[in-house]
C-alpha cells in the first residue's frame, strides 16, 4: 500500500510525457493514487493525454479551457459525480503567446498580458474555488512556479511576471483556504525541457548555466520533482502551506 492509497486527485496541465505534471502523476501513481486529468480542448491534446494515462486506468480524462468558468464548473461537477470528493489537486498550467515571450517585457501588449495572466494565474484562483467544496475533510493543492518569478531571467519576460503573481496568489489562497484545512504550496522547479519551455529564448544556455552554477552541479530531474510533489501533497507536510519550495539543485541560493 502506497502513501496515496485511497487518495483521489485531479491533475491539470499534462501536456506530454516530459511535462512536470506528468512527472508528478507518475510519482502519485507509484504511491497508489487515483487520478483524474484535464487537457486543453483539442483532438491532438486529448489523444496525447489518453495515451499516457491509459496504462494506469485514469478515473476521468476531461477537456478544460481554464479561461472559461463554465468549463471549470463542468469539470468539478463530473469529478464529484465520479469520485465523490477530492483529496488533492495539481495545477500545472501556464501560457503566454510566443511573440510576447520573444519580446522584451516593456513591449508586452495589453492583450498578451491579459491572456497570460488569465491562463497562468487566475486559473489557479478559479480552480481552487471550485475544488474547495470537494475537499470536505481538507486537502492539498500544488502549483508550479519558476525562479524567473523572483529574479530577472532575460528571455523569460512576461512569464516571469506571471510567476510572481502566481506565487503571491499561493500565499493569499493559503490564508483563505486554511480555515477549511486546505493547504496550498508551489514547487519552484529548476529548468526542465517541456512543451512550455520550447518558446523561451536560449533555454538550453539557461539549463547549462544552471547545471554549472547550482551547488549540486546538475539540473533537476523528473524524479526530483515527483518526490517533492509527493511530500507537498501528502500528510507528511501537514503543517506546511503558502510556501514556495525550490527544487532546483540549490541554484536559487547562489549569488554569482
Q: Let me know if 105 is a catalytic residue.
A: no
Neighbours of 132 (CB within 10 A): 19
Q: Let me know if 156 is a catalytic residue.
A: yes
Task: From 8, 21, 7, select the one nearest 143 (Cα to Cα).
Answer: 21
Burial label, 203 (beta-carbon count in 10 A; 0-12, 13-18, 19+): middle
Catalytic residue chosen out of the listed positions 146, 172, 231, 251: 146
Q: Strand pairing partners for 143? A: 91, 186
Neighbours of 45 (CB within 10 A): 16
Task: From 239, 220, 115, 241, select the one nearest 176 (Cα to Cα).
Answer: 241
Interatomic CA distance for residues 204 and 10, integer angstroms? 31
Catalytic residue chosen out of the listed positions 105, 156, 231, 251: 156
Q: Which residues are catalytic?
A: 146, 156
Amino acid at each position: 500500500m502506497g502513501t496515496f492509497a485511497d487518495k483521489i486527485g485531479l491533475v491539470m496541465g499534462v501536456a506530454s510525457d516530459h511535462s512536470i505534471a506528468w512527472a508528478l502523476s507518475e510519482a502519485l501513481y507509484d504511491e497508489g493514487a487515483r487520478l483524474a486529468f484535464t487537457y486543453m480542448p483539442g483532438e491532438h491534446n486529448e489523444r496525447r493525454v489518453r495515451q499516457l494515462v491509459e496504462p494506469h486506468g485514469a478515473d476521468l480524462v476531461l477537456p478544460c479551457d481554464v479561461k472559461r468558468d463554465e468549463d471549470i464548473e463542468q469539470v468539478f461537477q463530473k469529478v464529484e459525480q465520479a469520485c465523490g470528493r477530492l483529496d488533492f489537486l495539481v495545477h500545472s498550467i501556464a501560457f503566454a503567446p510566443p511573440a510576447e515571450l520573444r519580446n522584451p517585457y516593456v513591449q508586452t501588449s495589453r492583450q498578451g498580458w491579459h491572456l497570460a495572466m488569465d491562463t497562468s494565474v487566475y486559473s489557479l484562483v478559479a480552480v481552487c474555488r471550485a475544488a474547495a467544496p470537494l475537499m470536505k475533510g481538507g486537502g492539498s493543492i500544488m502549483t508550479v512556479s519558476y525562479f524567473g518569478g523572483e529574479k530577472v531571467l532575460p528571455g523569460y519576460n512576461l512569464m516571469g511576471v506571471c510567476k510572481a503573481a502566481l506565487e503571491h496568489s499561493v500565499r493569499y489562497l493559503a490564508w483563505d483556504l486554511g480555515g477549511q484545512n486546505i493547504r496550498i504550496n508551489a514547487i519552484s522547479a529548476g529548468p526542465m525541457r517541456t512543451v512550455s519551455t520550447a518558446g523561451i529564448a536560449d533555454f538550453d544556455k539557461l539549463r547549462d548555466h544552471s547545471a554549472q552554477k547550482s551547488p549540486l552541479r546538475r539540473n533537476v530531474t523528473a524524479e526530483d520533482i515527483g518526490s517533492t510533489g509527493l511530500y507537498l501533497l501528502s500528510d507528511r507536510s501537514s503543517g506546511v502551506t503558502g510556501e514556495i519550495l525550490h527544487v532546483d539543485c540549490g541554484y536559487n541560493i547562489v549569488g554569482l
